[in-house]
Structure formats: C-alpha cells, structure tokens
Amino acid sequence: MKITGTTRLAGIIGWPVSHSRSPLLHGFWLDETGIDGAYLPLPVKPDHIEQALRALPVLGFQGCNLTVPHKQTALAVVDRVDPLARRIGAINTIVVTPDGSLGGTNTDAFGFRENLREAAPQWKPNAGPAVILGAGGAARAVIVALSDAGAAEIRMVNRTLKRAEAVAGDLATPQTRITIHSWEEVGAVQRQAGLLVNATSLGMVGEPPLILDLSLLPLSAPVVDIVYVPLETELLAAARRRGHPVVDGLGMLLHQGRPGFEAWFGESVQVTERLRTAMLATLAPVR
Ligand code: ATR
C-alpha cells in the first residue's frame, strides 16, 4: 500500500483497538481493489469519543467503524442514525457526508443475514421459531435481522431475564413474537425450532464452553455461532456430529465490513474463499 496526497481515509475507533481484525479485513479489500485508500486503527478513550468523531470531517476522513466501548455512546453523538441502528441501539459504522455531518448505521444485522444466506441457503424465515441464546448487543442485531427477514417467533434464552425482557420490549413487533426463557428451558425451547443461534460470548476463547443438548432440535435447523475464535466451537462441533447445517461466526465479521467499505471507498467487495483463508490465518486461538 502506498499513501499519497489523495489517499481516502477510514479507520476503526475503539479502546483498546489493537485486537481488532478490521484493519486486516479492509486492508485486504484495499489491496484487492487497488483503491488509493487506507484504513487505520484509531485508539480513542471513552472520554474523547465526541471530539474524535467531530474531527473525522475536519481531517478529511470518509468515516469509520466503531468497536467496544463506543457503539452505544457514539449513537448519541452523530447527526443522523438510521432506523435499523436505532432499533439495535448501537452504531458500528459512520459515514461522513459532503456537508461534514455524520451518519450512523449498524451493519451487524446485515453481516448476520448475509452469512446465514451464504452458509445455510436452504434456511427460510418460516422454517419454525428461531432460538437465540443471549440478550446483548450481538443478540439485538441477530433479532433485528431475523425479524426483518420475516421470522414470526423468536425464543430468547438469557441468564439475566431482565435484560431479555428489555430486548423483547424494544424489538418485538406485530409480525415477530419474542418469548423469554431461562437456561433451564434451553433444551425444551428447541422443540420444532427452525434455527439456533449462539449470540452469547460462551464458547469464545477464554470463556466457558457452550455445551448444549441438541436432541430436541430438528435436524433441518441450522446452528449458528457468532463466536469466531475458535472457529469451530464446541456448539458447532456438536451440531456437526448430529448432522445440522452449521454456520460459523467468521462470515458475519467479514460481511459486516462490506457496507462501510462501499460507502467510504466507492467500490463493492465480496467475501471470497481467499479472504476467509487470509483472515483465518490471523485467528489462531491462543489457549
Ligand atoms: P455483545 O455486545 O457481544 O453481545 P454483551 O452485551 O456483553 O456482549 O452480551 C454478552 C451475552 O453473553 C449476554 O447475553 C450474557 O448474558 P447476561 O445478559 O446474563 O449477562 C451472555 N453471557 C456471557 N457470559 C455468560 C455466562 N457465563 N453464562 C451465561 N451467559 C453469559
């Protein structure tokens, strides 16, 4: 990559940001497309987020991604938030418009949906209730994606029931019913389900594994894990042994980057096998 006087700039703002794979992802696409652009890691402390975001147009940035801990706070700073991001309650992508204002969106739901479409093309929203484990930011994006795809029933399992109630209150619609369940019910809620998604951090390297009895889940139901380190979680291994279609979390990470890249650098990009292989090489779990 060569930086010139006309290089278009974007980056990812987080604190810390050194763990983020987004510079590698966007760097791959920049190399592949040959665009005169650069995507930088931008470590910004929580107290400085407003200053940093307001500086983006001043410094000539096209926009940025946001990661922990800024996804919610940035929503209150930007000038416009699209309805999807407002429902999710967080933004992960900012686009600077020509008048210097900031538009915020959330591409996690898009990433989830595209990954599911690609890895489990046979899945249909009317296949049966979707079981979602978790009620954090990731679960909210998954629920919005499924609801917008036309899922009629979502069964949410979470340790903290109050949190799940708040999510259901925010995201249930006349078309999408959301029921709330404790972990004691995690076996029973799989009955007649059409999809199971782990949107908790369980199974991630350094976290407890997610060991589920999948015996009541219909074999046609895809099992999705949003965890991508390790790529093959215990949940996915168990689902594979039973013969379920399985969907790992790497594709969601890769697809969620596409809308930002397209907005900042003006070219559409794809998630190819070559990209997956390049990213996989950087994801070796440290155990
Ligand atoms: P993210 O933004 O990635 O979704 P988060 O908002 O911290 O992260 O949410 C993490 C999810 O994993 C939550 O659903 C959390 O359950 P609680 O709402 O009860 O905290 C779930 N989670 C994390 N560790 C867990 C554990 N040991 N057992 C059960 N659930 C866990």
Q: What is the pLDDT of residue 287?
A: 43
The protein residue whose alpha carbon is closest to atom 14 in ligand 1 is 134
Q: Residue of the nearest CA to atom 29 in ligand 1?
A: 159
- Ligand 1 pocket test, pick from 200, 207, 229, 253 with the greatest ligand atom count within 8 Å of Cβ, gives 200
Q: Please report the pLDDT score of residue 150 as a whole number.
A: 97
Query: What are the helix (H) ranges across the chain?
Result: 22-33, 49-58, 83-88, 108-119, 137-149, 161-171, 234-242, 250-256, 258-265, 273-280
- Below-70 pLDDT ranges, the chain: 284-287
Indicate which atom in ligand 1 lies nearest the CA of residue 90: 2
Ligand 1 neighbours (beta carbon < 6 A): 134-139, 158-160, 163, 200-202, 208
Q: Annotated catalytic, 124?
A: no
| Angle of CA points 60, 65, 69, to nearest 5° | 120
The tokens of 53 are what?
A: 């975001």
DSSP summary character for residue 149: H
CA of 87 to the centre of ligand 1 (A): 19
The dihedrals phi and psi of 42, each to the nearest 5 degrees, come to: -125, 95
Residues 167, 143 contacting (CB under 8 angstroms): yes
Atom number of ligand 1 nearest to Cα 135: 14
Smallest Cα–Cα separation from 140: which of 117, 93, 108?
A: 108
Cα(16) to ligand 1 centroid in Å equals 20
Active-site choice (2, 71, 124, 162) = 71
The per-residue pLDDT for 1 is 72
